[in-house]
Chain A
């Protein structure tokens, strides 16, 4: 099996090239931040946890033995850091879907996702606007389900990992991962129905099995 780019950078770092470590972190920071953001649903928290994860990767990189892919190992650290952060953050934040609703627990003017979508929003077909709003709802619903379910969904549907890789990241048997996927999807659907009973995320064209 040919070594991946991350593995090459790690080898260079172990050979004494200290700049390779920076390149290795740079190559993975976006992916790790994405995982953290989907797990935490808050950009500031995600940035903090992502930084902690990268620091932990640097500190523990000598413990990496190559039993799993380096990228998977790094995602595992980011996922564990995110779950630890969620467990420490006792009062769970909820995100209002109504921008004018400031009476809830969330005092932020808008979520990062809402801000991103608002920036990307252009005058266009109404269908596109509705889908963007549905994506906001989906992110909110994702933040409301159980941490274990969310981790499985993030790794499977957002990070596009295989069952085996998910099992390595979460340190679970592959069968357990498969058994958790459908309940996780059903939990997400339940939250979507609570947020918007008539939610419809189906695309006008194209099938779901694109990956």
Chain B
């Protein structure tokens, strides 16, 4: 084992020509005693000489120039200050990378925001009024609330006016032609009586509204009213109430009146 290791070390040293003279002489004595070892040494030396004689080929023309061009192209595309920042390349590269990630992050945030708005608008196409107000800025929200309050007050006022008007008309006997004087004559009725009559009329209105035929029958029973021009909020019988619609009844023909009422009922989804 030790002899084999010694032979290996001597052979390597002999091939590399870095043996001491006495070791070199010792190995040559071994080779003279062992022809196979001598042949192997000769072959290895021949291989080594052959490797050194391998032709040194020329590289492709302009390979360095291509590398310089590629490098400059990368500099232009990436803005990576490569050659000019030999002294401080790491900080410049890091700064460049930070800027790149910041721009990517901003772009991603914009995409997420756009996708969120699109999704919300698709899922909730008509948000409730309260939700719409919630979206507004504080000033716009205050204005919207005021507008809503005003509209509600207007609707309530109209409702009260109609209620008063209906109460007046309910006091008119059947067959009386409607005019301002007739309507005005009802102003003398007490408020309590108006409320009672309003409640009665509302029930009647509900029944009449759900049944246009009933309304037309009542119309047929009061032919004088058929001559009157009824407008929004007016009634066509003493107690029947038609709500906020424009309906003009100008005939005493009960069939035509029924048809008009039926069309109105259909168009108002009653």
A112 touches B57 (CB 8 A): yes
Output the least CB separation between A199 and chain B (Å): 8
Residue numbers in A under 8 Å from B16 (CB-CB): 181
B47 touches A29 (CB 8 A): no
Residue in contact with B55 in the complex, picked from A13, A18, A55, A120, CB distance below 8 Å: A120
Residue in contact with B71 in the complex, picked from A13, A30, A55, A160, CB distance below 8 Å: A55
**For residues 39 through 56 of chain A, which have their beta carbon under 8 Å from a beta carbon of chain B?**
43, 47, 50-51, 54-55
Residue numbers in A under 8 Å from B33 (CB-CB): none
**For residues 112 through 163 of chain B, which have their beta carbon under 8 Å from a beta carbon of chain A?**
none
**For residues 1 through 31 of chain B, which have their beta carbon under 8 Å from a beta carbon of chain A?**
8, 11-12, 15-17
Residue numbers in A under 8 Å from B17 (CB-CB): 209
Output the least CB separation between A3 and chain B (Å): 17
A58 touches B71 (CB 8 A): yes
Q: Does B64 have its Cβ within 8 Å of any Cβ on chain A?
A: yes
Contacts A34-B56, A189-B47 given; does A18 touch B83 at CB 8 Å: yes
Main secondary structure of the interface of A (DSSP, over half): helix
Output the least CB separation between B66 and chain A (Å): 6
B49 touches A208 (CB 8 A): yes
As a 0/1 sequence over residues 171 to 208 of chain B, the CB contacts with chain A under 8 angstroms (1 = contact) are 00000000000000000000000000000000000000
A51 touches B67 (CB 8 A): yes
Residue numbers in A under 8 Å from B43 (CB-CB): 189, 192, 199, 201
Q: Does B48 have its Cβ within 8 Å of any Cβ on chain A?
A: yes
How many residues on chain A are close to B (CB under 8 Å)?
Answer: 56
A30 touches B58 (CB 8 A): yes
B86 touches A61 (CB 8 A): yes
Contacts A55-B70, A116-B57 given; does A21 touch B83 at CB 8 Å: yes
B47 touches A211 (CB 8 A): no
Contacts A30-B59, A139-B54 given; does A14 touch B86 at CB 8 Å: yes
Interface size class of B (residues with CB under 8 A): 35 or more
Residue numbers in A under 8 Å from B12 (CB-CB): 178, 181-182
Q: How far is the CA of A172 from the CA of B36 in the complex (A)?
A: 32
B52 touches A211 (CB 8 A): yes
A135 touches B53 (CB 8 A): yes
A33 touches B86 (CB 8 A): no
Q: Does B106 have its Cβ within 8 Å of any Cβ on chain A?
A: no
A34 touches B57 (CB 8 A): yes
Output the least CB separation between B75 and chain A (Å): 10
Least CB separation from A119: chain B residue: B55
Residue in contact with B47 in the complex, picked from A14, A21, A38, A201, CB distance below 8 Å: A201
Output the least CB separation between B51 and chain A (Å): 4
Residue numbers in A under 8 Å from B42 (CB-CB): 202
Residue in contact with A58 in the complex, picked from B51, B53, B54, B67, CB distance below 8 Å: B67
Most chain-A CB neighbours within 10 Å: which of B15, B52, B63, B70?
Answer: B63
Q: Does B82 have its Cβ within 8 Å of any Cβ on chain A?
A: yes
Residue numbers in B under 8 Å from A54 (CB-CB): 63-64, 67
Residue numbers in B under 8 Å from A210 (CB-CB): 49, 52
Extra inter-chain contacts (11) besides given A32-B59, A202-B42, CB under 8 Å: A14-B86, A29-B63, A30-B58, A33-B63, A55-B67, A58-B83, A62-B89, A134-B50, A157-B51, A158-B51, A203-B49
Residues of B at the A interface (CB closer than 8 Å) are 8, 11-12, 15-17, 40, 42-60, 63-68, 70-71, 82-87, 89
Q: Which 7 A-B pairs have the closest CB atoms?
A: A33-B59, A201-B46, A208-B45, A25-B64, A157-B51, A209-B17, A201-B50
Residues of A at the B interface (CB closer than 8 Å) are 13-14, 16, 18, 21-22, 25-26, 29-30, 32-34, 37-38, 43, 47, 50-51, 54-55, 58-59, 61-62, 112-113, 116-117, 120, 134-135, 138-139, 142, 153, 157-158, 160, 178, 181-182, 185-186, 188-189, 192, 199-203, 208-211
